Copies of this chain bind each other. A is one copy, B any other.
């Protein structure tokens, strides 16, 4: 369903003009009570509780992070918001406010920008966060830059706190987005549940805070790939992590895709990112909250192994 706009259906960004488009975009972003000054001035002003702010930034580039023929503008909006909201989740916090920079070709349909903004706002509404500012400029390729601000009600959970003897646990879908991407890459559109998971990840937004309150020793969101992100925790904590792939409950749609593409479905779970599952370590199995699955263990040493052995397949995603 398209957002209603004051522009003709085939209008481009160039037709709409910078200020007309900004005005229409701002109308799509409701402002929360923490917003003292919203979009439209040199800067936004936000009320901050707890004496600190948690901040993260991410870029999405067309052709690299999304394709307009594989996902709707609204889907891209959901994904762009989700990957940023998830970074605050991974600190054990809650996002409150975001800024969006949109660089786009003059020929881009206004409707794309408006639908993107609507999807973005809808995803933010899931956690009660507001879009408080942004920038709009012309470029050859769509580049979306998002910065997210939030807060924690307890000490933020870092990547560096895992200790030998801890257990590794995961919360949220893992490998679904990678499975959906593999499907789309072969020109298919099903299993639809995986394609939808790629288009609109469903990060477990409450899980970060709950894990922090339960005493998680380290936490990260899975965006580079499970093994790659487990590796970041291992490196920053100065420990070794063993992932127990044999403990994984491989969901049925991944079995189906594995069979169709001739791939071991466990690969999607080990190297996939972008579901924005949370990966955390806890001092013991007893400390792991409901909704989390124990999938590994922490020991003295360094690096990541799978079922006690080095992993030969791809571990994740790098940008260069």
- Bound Cα distance A136, B221 (Å): 17
- A90 CB-CB contact with B under 8 Å: yes
What 1/0 mask marks residues of chain A from 121 to 141 whose CB sits below 8 Å from any chain B CB?
000000000001111111111
Please judge, given known A-B contacts A18-B319, A45-B156, whether A59 and B141 are in contact too, CB under 8 Å.
no
Q: Judge whether A14 is part of the interface by a CB distance below 8 angstroms.
A: yes
When the two chains form their complex, are residues B52 and A137 in contact, meaning their CB atoms are under 8 A apart?
no
Q: How far is the CA of A17 from the CA of B159 in the complex (A)?
A: 21
A103 and B59: CB pair below 8 A? yes
| CA–CA, A236 and B37, complex, Å | 13
Q: Is the CB of B137 within 8 A of A319?
A: yes
B136 and A319: CB pair below 8 A?
Answer: yes
The residue in chain B whose Cβ has the minimal distance to the Cβ of A223 is B42
**Is A57 interfacial (CB 8 A cutoff)?**
yes
Contacts of A239 on B, CB cut-off 8 Å? Answer: none
Q: Check if A261 is an interface residue, CB within 8 A of chain B.
A: no
Q: Do A45 and B37 contact each other (CB < 8 Å), given the known contacts A61-B103, A106-B320?
A: no
Let me know if A4 is at the binding interface, CB within 8 A: no
Residue A158 is within 8 A (CB to CB) of chain B in the complex: yes
A14 and B320 form a contact (CB under 8 A): yes
**Of residues 231 to 286 in A, which have CB atoms within 8 Å of B's CB atoms?**
236
B43 and A47 contact, CB distance less than 8 A: no
Residue from B47, B49, B141 in contact with A140 in the complex, judged by beta carbons closer than 8 Å: B141
- Given contacts A137-B59, A318-B19, A320-B16, A44 and B48 within 8 Å (CB-CB): no
**Whole-angstrom distance between the Cβ of A66 and the nearest chain B Cβ:** 12
Given contacts A91-B41, A320-B16, A101 and B57 within 8 Å (CB-CB)? yes
A176 to chain B, nearest CB (A): 21
Residues of chain B within 8 A of A169, CB atoms compared: none
Say if the beta carbon of A82 comes within 8 Å of chain B: no
Interface status of A187 (Cβ within 8 A of chain B)? no
- Produce 1/0 per residue, A150-189, CB < 8 A to B: 1010001011100000000000000000000000000000
The reply to whether B54 and A103 form a contact with Cβ atoms under 8 Å apart is no
Distance of A19 from chain B, by nearest CB (Å): 7
Residues on B with beta carbons closer than 8 Å to the beta carbon of A54? 43-46
- Asked whether A52 lies within 8 Å of B47 as measured between CB atoms, the reply is yes
Contact B42 A133 (CB under 8 A): no
Across-interface contacts of A132 in B (CB, < 8 A): 55
User: Is A212's beta carbon under 8 Å from chain B?
Assistant: no
Q: A36: CB under 8 A from chain B? A: yes
Whole-angstrom distance from the CB of A87 to the nearest CB of chain B?
4
- Shortest beta-carbon distance, A51 to chain B, in Å? 6
Known contacts A43-B91, A145-B147; can you find 14 more A-B pairs with CB under 8 A?
A16-B320, A18-B318, A42-B90, A45-B52, A45-B55, A48-B51, A48-B52, A56-B99, A57-B147, A59-B103, A59-B145, A99-B147, A136-B320, A140-B141
